[in-house]
Structure 1
Amino acid sequence: PAGKYHLYGEHFEDDYYKEIDENNEFEIIPIVDVAIDIGSSRVNVDFNKTVKFTIKVKNNGPNNATGVNVSAIIPEGLVYLSSVPSIGTYNPDDGTWDIGNLDVGENQTLVINVQTNKTGLIDYPVNVSSIEEDSNLTNNIDNKTIRVLMADLAITVNASDEIVNPGDIVNWTITVVNNGPNNASKVLVLLDYSDEELIYLNSSNATFNQTENKWEIPSLLVGDEISIEISTKVNSSDKPLILKANVSSDTYDPIESNNYDSDSVDALPICDLITKVSVSENPVNKDDLVDWTIVVSNDGPDDAADVILSLSDLESLDLIVLNASDDSFDLDDYEWIIGNLDSGGNVSLIITTRVNKSDDTITVTANVETSTLESDYENNIDNESVLINPICDLIIDIEASNETVGYGDIVDWIIVVSNDGPDDASNVSVSLSDLESLGLIILNSSDDSFDLNNYEWLIGDLGSGDSVSLNISTKANRSNENVTVLADVETSTYESDKENNHDNDTLEILPICDISVTKIADKNPVYLDDVVNWIINVTNNGPDKASEVIVNGSFPESLEFIIYELTKGELESITDDDGNVVELIWKVGDLESNESALLVISSKALEEGEVVNSVSANSSTIDMNQSNNFDSAIVDVISNESGEDNPDNPDGPEVPENPDNPDNPENDLDEDYYDEFPWDDYFPDDLFKNNDDKALDRNSDSKSDGNHIKSPKKQIDISKKRTGNPFALVILSMLALFSLATRKN
């Protein structure tokens, strides 16, 4: 085996040889066979792509190798990226891989990753060495050649049209050609365009990815040409629409200037003119002034050029043009030269005309035009019509048959409607006040077309110069009111004067009342020369105020008038030639509803026998119930032969004589007598036990027959009277209650 050796030899002298003694050293150098191999991941590599070179070193023996070193310098055209040695270290700067010892049969590997940066053939030579003598130097070197490919790809874009309108279809042809010198792999074409302005429709190649706008070509041989057609719809205006295309591949392209191309189409401007015509009044009448407003607006995305608007021949429509708001409007040709109109802009024109006809319809048409393309031509034309009314003049008159009525009276309401206008009136109707709410009960009407529930009279058409009338009979169901009935007439025909479409008439419904009167005596029978008091109660049972209430009462000759007291009004008397009171007139005045008044008269019985004292009440207000306007009281005057007290009032006082003049035939009593008159003694507190009875029946036999004593109307002065005395008012109230209680009992 290889190594250093030391030899020593010694031979003692013998009979044959001399003595030999010698040393010697020698070295046997070892022999190795170190082999190297280089390979690549690809032979044909695209430019600027990564290539992996693998270098393998093996010691084929027969001895271990030491100081093994590999030279693997990165050649020009390759850029070092990284390396992975299985043993030792690799220095990319000088290309040395220091392995060190390599045993017999041992393998070591170095992987080097590089990137191509030039095209053509690139050699990568490597060699290996060791300290030991290599028995086979042929496998100490190796080389790997790779080819970096290149292909000159060129792209062109062509549009099917140069000038287009919005909505047009544009076909784009994209062509790719490989000018060599190598085949191109993984060719990629990318398109760039606005998908809002150019709406994708379809393509001629199914491999086109519309979402990403890319076309993938797996490979393109040298000299080959391939095309694709993309169809789009124009969705923009007034601007160039550009489609850009770019081609690339995994194969290096030495000429990049022809990898890009584009083409464009010019989208023409587009507008959308809209015309609107409006009229200031509708309907109108002959000789009215009417303003026609024409508004032109541009709702399109672009400006409109050379805008002109034309109108109907207004004169032929019987419209007299007075003026226009824009001097550019031709009053003769009825044309309005607008010129340019910006997108989103609008202009307006007002034409003032006078209507020169009647009972017709006039339609004015406006049409706008422009040299710019429009998206919608249907809204370029507009028109407006105005209705010219016929003219009528309705007059209504309402009149009540009476100016003043009483409750329950019949009242006729006469309504007359006439047409004084030049034309017929249509849909004529009359509406009246709610008669029921006014207290008028409808009995009948002269025309069945009058609605008794809604108080409407449907007349219909009324010719020029014609008139119609309606008679409504009603019954007054209220009192003490002024009832005003309103009448209004309407028509769908224009009227020149509406002030006479309304009329009213007022009916005075007189107030009503129910006057009742009662008369009672405070005792019965009455002794001769004794005092008897007569209580008269007059009441207004309503419902309205009773005016000028007067109570008339005969005063029998068998009685002598003494004094009186009343709560309201004044008392007058009528006397005979001898000065005796024969009739009393109580002027009560006005009585409100449910108001009462009392009168108490004191008298002296002069003769024996039956005394009938009657009374009647009346008012200037209508009395709806006159059955209770009369009453009478009857007493029997008897002689007191026994000298006993009056059986009806045993404790009653005697009437004192006038101390100043006891022989006075008229027995006038002075003031002291009135003040000292013992009312409390005469009317004890327990006399009016039923003072809560408010509504008591009267005895039918106490009713007066209404005949009053007739005598000359001679007024006399009754000096002994008081009004407003608080004590007397209390007595009178008690007497009133007493009278009711007595009548009931």
Structure 2
Amino acid sequence: MICLLAPALLCSQAWAVDVQISQLTDAPDPAIRGGQITYSTFIENNADDTAHNVVLTFPLPATTTFVSVTDPPGTPTCSHDGGTPGTVTCTFGDLLGTLIGGPVYQIDTVIRTSGATGSTIDVTGSVSTSDSDSNLANNTLTQNTTIDDGADLVVAKTDSPDPVIAGGNVTYTITVTNNGPNSANAITVIDTLNDNMTYVSASGSGWSFSRVGQVVTCTRSTIANGATAPAITLVGRVTGAITGTITNVVTVSATTGDPDTSNNTTTQDTEVTLGTDLSITKVTVGAVIGNLTATFSLRPRNNGPFPADTVQVTDTLPAGFTYISAIGTGWSCSAVDQDITCTRATYAVGAANNITVQATAPASGTNITNTTVITATTPDPNLSNNTGSVTFNIVPDGADLSITKSKTPNPVAQGSNITSTMRVTNNGPRATSGTLTVTDTLSTGETYVSGSGTNWTCSHNGVNPGGVVTCTYGATPLASGASTSVLTVITTATNAGDLTNTSCASDAGVGGQPDGVSGNNCASATVTSTAARADLAISKSADAGGDTTLSVSENTITYTINVTNNGPDAATGVVLTDTIAGYVSSSTGVAVTSSPANYTCTTGSTVTCTQQSGSLASGATDQFVIQVSRPLFDGPQTNTATVNSTVVGDPDRTNNSTTATVTIDPIVDVQMQNKTVSPTSVAAGTQATYVLTFRNNGPSTAANVVVTDDFNLPVGGDTNFTFISATPTEGTCSWDNGTKILTCNGITLDNGESRTVTVIIRPNWQSGDPVRTINNTATIATDTTESNAANNSRTQTLSVTSSDLDLLVNKTDLVDPIGYESGVPANNTITYLVRITNRGASLATGLTLTDTMTPKNGKTLTFLGDKATPSGPIAPLCNNVGTSITGPATQTIICNFPDLAANTSYDRYLDFEVVTAPDPTGDTHNNIATVSVNEHDRLPANNSEAETTSVRMRVDLAVAKAPALNPVQLREPFNWTVTVTNNGPGDSTQTTVTDTLPAGMAFYGAAPSWSKTGPVGSGTCSTAGQNLTCNLGMLSSTGVATITMPVRVTAYPGGGTTTNCVTATTDQFDPNAANNTNQCGTVTVQRSSLAGYVYRDLDDDGSMDAGETGINAVTLTLTGTDAYGNTVNTTTTTNAGGDYLFNNLSPSDGTGYTVTETQPPLSYFDGLDSRDNGASAIPGSRTTDVIPSITVPANTALTGYLFGEIPAASISGYVWNDEDNDGAAMPVRLPASRTRKLP
């Protein structure tokens, strides 16, 4: 109001209004494309007048759609115009200034983005009034929201079979669909099997699987927009002993944001019916012997999860078998012909009660199959294991002995010894029980020399040469499946020609076992005895450059082998073999020459030279030269050569082999096999990974291997990068940043062994952000002599493209509004949290925050500095610390922060002190945070964030509540007294009190009223139902407001007390809400009651005597007026004992209450009514059933108000023929129809 004092004393009115958008927030930020965003707009009139025709307009961004808008409590009405995307408009009508108690309205507008929505969207809200606005600068506010890719994943699931029999498998089919709008990456499906199930398997094209307990995890790399991934098939078995429903839960997620998570989880219920999985197997116990008792073991099992009822095992014996018996614990067995049936009433889970079946086997048979089947009346989910079979042969009784035999040498020189070796095996089915004997029948051309072997005793009989060698085995019996020790028989080749002898084994003697298999009892062997004799002898020498050591400078070893025939006859069919020591497969070079050249030689790890023509005369020598070239295994190597004749017998074979030993010095071929970089092209500021793969091609061990990776190449590439790490599979690595060389040592490589080093670097941003390359060369070296240095290095080139990242800044004030307190700077500090997020992919360098602060006109703020934590010390990374700024001027603060890795955030807290006290309506200060980096920012629109902070006076409201009367009677009017105190230091320009009465209490009588000290100003108190709201306007510092609330208790509370709580709030800043929130008062509530009886007054004396019982279900009514003027009319009914009670009564007025009885049934006559348990009869009550003028005091329980009723009298007896005229009834009475009850 502006008044001009002039002669005319005219006063004109002007409105001082300031409608503003105090805040515009977004949630979430970043948001998901395809998802919803909630924008909260806060509207107020920051003035002391009323603004008229206030309207908020909120245009929606393109590519978005309207979802909803909230109408806050009060006047505003919000609506969307139906356009695409359209505008939200809210009409507020008249908006009261906050200085005179006006509200701050919050409007929540929800929109949904679409596939066409870009990386950011901007929204702007604007508020207007038909009045002159004192500050148009705060009528508009803009919010920027970052948009990330979104993929709406939907999971679906089916089961089969359903229902499933307990113990059976359930197959779940899981499908995942991406409803977009973008591709989904790194998808994870988690399926939790029910506790009553056991995992069986999981499969699905393109999916990877893992399991921990009941949780199965399925992953895949991507699902395109609009696509459905190949189905997942998950199989579980019901193993819990349950029936009914089991539930399976599956959830899908991805690293891509999901705009609708309500469809990410689904459940599948499967009905489980009673059942159990029975199985059976069958085996033979021992061999099945012809004509003897065969034993079979039938092994039924209940795999669960329930006991099986009425179980039956059937077994049909094969043809030719004769049933003997079938027994098993708990089984009842019988047989009809070949069919055996075993039954039992029930079979527990996990039971292992086997059935033993015995039958007489026929004499013979092969490939005989016997099958058994198990069934039950309990359903079985898996019939595939209900049958068990065994296939067997019938073997003859006894011990089936077999023998093996060999005979060397071949050929043998006439007159030289022959060695025969034999071994006997018992193939069963029984152990030997007689004398295990081997008879070896010699040819007529060989003479027995000796027979020996562990546990063997031999003798020869008959002619010699020739005859029979008999050997017995002492370690009997020989068990079925066992073999004897080796038996050796030495003979001499007496005659020339083929010498064949045959050995036979038997279980001879008394008690010996029969041998039903005769074909394997004997074995024969032959050698050729030659009359010609040639004693071949061999010698060997090695030469490696003049000695027997092959040094690292030497490549070839020469072996010289001489074969001499010591006679007496020429040798033909000569064969030389030489095993090359140190030979490296497919690598070692071997060359052979013979003199004379009538030998054909093959090379490799063994050299074999075979005489093709001619002969080696007695006394002659043939020479072989073998040249062996590297690579060779190092160390001492012994080479053995052997010579034999395949045609002529050798009388002395002890000189047929010779050795030569050489020492081979180690040589290796270490190779840098491969060097890869992934990815091959990276943006500056992102990491690249090199993998160096190196190996030792041998043949020796490479010692002290050193791998270097040199990035400081003189030609091409640059060195502007950061070394991150190097991880060797063996050894350790060190990095020299000066030389840009990586060195890895402590590595030993065996022949054929490979190792790797993984190196990670990050190319740095450089001025101009050019495209460039980084070259490097990896090299391997060893202290061991190398055979090939040409393969020791590999070079790799990394392409570096321009940097790429997205910085996002969010700024919030930790407290808004703040409460100003003069002289207490600590209470006048605004703390802003600046959160900078690097959304990748490059490292953010040169990270700079530019923070601008614009105070309200005429108000001063001081920048105190920045810090790492909200309550930590100032540790400046920003300039202008300690400088002040007065609005409307703007202060610019520059902060330099450390590098920020991709996908990480950096928090910094900035403190500003409010120097100037706020206006009564409060102040709003504007701050903008802007971030920048060296790197290219692909989305600069989210690099700035504005934040407004309100400053109010600091006000500490305290509220207390007490009843003016305590205790109170039920329905007695009384007042609650609410006292609101402003403890300061500031004035509360708008003070609001709210109170909700408890159930059973109501406002009564006069309207609530208020009073206060200090400026009276405006104020209102109003009630709505149980709720009280008082807008008290200004409450000065130290001021007190008192509210009187007339109420009454309408229902008696449990425990006899009731509590009522009150809350006071302010439009300023209250740092201590504890003393003004839910402050409660308690009042004790008292009640009265009236009780008595309705009874059978048998002696009609108005008093309830012994033996006089109550009357049930009689209705009584209490009427009158209570002490507080309320009309009372209440009804009750007697219980089974005739008691009645009128409870929860208020005290009566002076005339008292009246109790009226409704007359009982006609079978009663009205009796006398009384007070004081019959001591005071009520005159005239025989006809009224009324007890009047009952004065009920406060907090009193009255008793003894009696209503007497007189039961009707009766006479009964009999009428009979008194035939003997004695006045006594006859034993047999007349029928009932002949009697009559008299009244």
TM-score, scaled to structure 1: 0.30
Q: Which has the higher contact order (CA 8 A, sep 6+)?
A: 1
Q: Which has the larger radius of gyration?
A: 1
TM-score, scaled to structure 2: 0.20
